[in-house]
Every structure is written in C-alpha cells, then in structure tokens.
C-alpha cells in the first residue's frame, strides 16, 4: 500500500512539472554581434536587460529573439534610418505579452517591410538600429511586468563582451 501511494504522489508531482516546461521559450540572438550590456551598463548603472550590437547600423535582418510561435505587437514610432537615438519615446519595438502579464520587448530596430504585427517564430522585424534612447545601433531585449524588470531569464546564459551568433542561446523565459 505504501508503495502505491508513493508511486501515485510521484506521478502527480511529475504532472505538476509539465506545464512549466511546456511554457519555456528560448531566446536567441537577433543577429550576430556582441553583448554590450546586461543587468548593468558598462558604466555601472542598472540596465536590467540584454543589449546585442553588431556595430553596423541598418544591418540586415533583426529577427525576433524568442523561439516558438508567439504573437508580436510591432510598434513603429519612427520610419527613418536612426542609428544613434532620436528621443526616449521614439523606439521602434516588438512586444509579446504572456498570459501572466509579463512582457518581452525587443527595441531599437529600423522599420522595414517586415515591421508589422504577426505571430511568428524568429521572424524578421526590421534592421539593426538605434531608435529611441540609444547611443548606437543595437537590439535591447527585456522582460518586465508593471515596470519590474526580470533579469533571471538570462542569468547564467550570457555575459557582457561575449560574441554571439544568431543560433546562440541568450536565455530562457519560463
């Protein structure tokens, strides 16, 4: 009898783990480049996100970073080729909002014909740029909820100064 109860409890526990594993999404680099900032800027100020830069403005093919078909709300705040910032509220961005209220956002790309709302798996949303509050071309990858930034998704996966390819895992969203 004791063995039967133990087996049943193990079975139930394993079922509880399945939904968490099924909802995890891998985050890949949107283009080849270097990690220029993570939780803190090189200057020491709090950042709470990952920045990836190839160093080339208008570099072709900034892809959405999240692997797995998700619905992206693409917001275009500027249509020009902006490489070095054009003001705080002017960032072009692609955002996915999860069922629990957390949002994953990718910012600063330059608008192209690929910049539109859709559901996709690693689709192109524009070219590498510096729209919004940016000091140069890069992709800003951030997860937040009501202003609280989550840095755990990339902790242990990547470090500042690391060179990355498109296939490089930058983190995992649970």
Statement: residue 44 has pLDDT above 90: yes
Two tokens, residue 5: 């109860």
Q: What's the structural domain count of the chain?
A: 1
> How far is Cα 39 from Cα 143, in angstroms, rounded to an integer?
12
Statement: residue 172 has pLDDT above 90: yes
Statement: residue 36 has pLDDT above 60: yes
Q: Which pTM does this prediction carry?
A: 0.86
CATH number, domain at 106? 2.70.70.10
Q: What are the pLDDT digits (tens) for 113-145?
A: 999 999 999 999 999 999 999 999 999 999 999
- Domain assignment present for 16: no
What local confidence, expressed as pLDDT, does residue 2 receive?
45
> How far is Cα 63 from Cα 138, in angstroms, rounded to an integer?
12
What local confidence, expressed as pLDDT, does residue 14 receive?
41
Q: Which of 70, 82, 142, 144 is nearest to 109 (CA)?
A: 82
Would you call 10 helix, strand, or coil by DSSP?
Answer: helix
Q: What are the pLDDT digits (tens) for 48-71?
A: 999 999 999 999 999 999 999 999
Statement: residue 158 has pLDDT above 90: yes
Q: What are the pLDDT digits (tens) for 72-112?
A: 999 999 999 999 999 999 999 999 999 999 999 999 999 99
> How far is Cα 69 from Cα 123, in angstroms, rounded to an integer?
9
Question: Phi/psi at 14 (nearest 5 deg)?
Answer: -65, -35
What local confidence, expressed as pLDDT, does residue 9 receive?
38
- Domain assignment present for 17: no
User: If pLDDT is split at 50, 70 and 90, which confidence band does 159 have?
Assistant: very high
- Domain assignment present for 156: yes
What local confidence, expressed as pLDDT, does residue 22 receive?
53
User: If pLDDT is split at 50, 70 and 90, which confidence band does 174 have?
Assistant: confident
Two tokens, residue 78: 């500027």
- Domain assignment present for 18: no
- Domain assignment present for 15: no
Two tokens, residue 10: 């193990």
| DSSP secondary structure letter of residue 60 | S
User: If pLDDT is split at 50, 70 and 90, which confidence band does 19 have?
Assistant: very low
- Domain assignment present for 7: no
Enclosing domain of residue 130? 25-173
């Amino acid at each position: 009898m004791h063995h039967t109860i133990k087996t049943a409890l193990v079975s139930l526990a394993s079922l509880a783990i399945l939904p968490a594993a099924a909802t995890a999404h891998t985050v890949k680099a949107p283009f080849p480049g270097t990690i220029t900032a993570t939780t803190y800027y090189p200057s020491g100020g709090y950042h709470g996100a990952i920045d990836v830069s190839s160093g080339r403005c208008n570099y072709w093919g900034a892809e959405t970073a999240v692997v797995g078909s998700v619905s992206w709300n693409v917001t275009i705040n500027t249509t020009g080729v902006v490489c070095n910032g054009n003001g705080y509220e002017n960032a072009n961005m692609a955002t996915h909002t999860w069922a629990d209220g957390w949002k994953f956002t990718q910012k600063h790309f330059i608008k192209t014909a690929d910049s539109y709302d859709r559901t996709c798996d690693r689709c192109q949303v524009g070219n590498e740029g510096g729209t919004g509050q940016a000091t140069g071309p890069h992709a800003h990858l951030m997860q937040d909820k009501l202003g609280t930034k989550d840095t755990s998704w990339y902790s242990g996966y990547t470090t500042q100064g690391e060179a990355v390819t498109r296939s490089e895992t930058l983190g995992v969203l649970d």
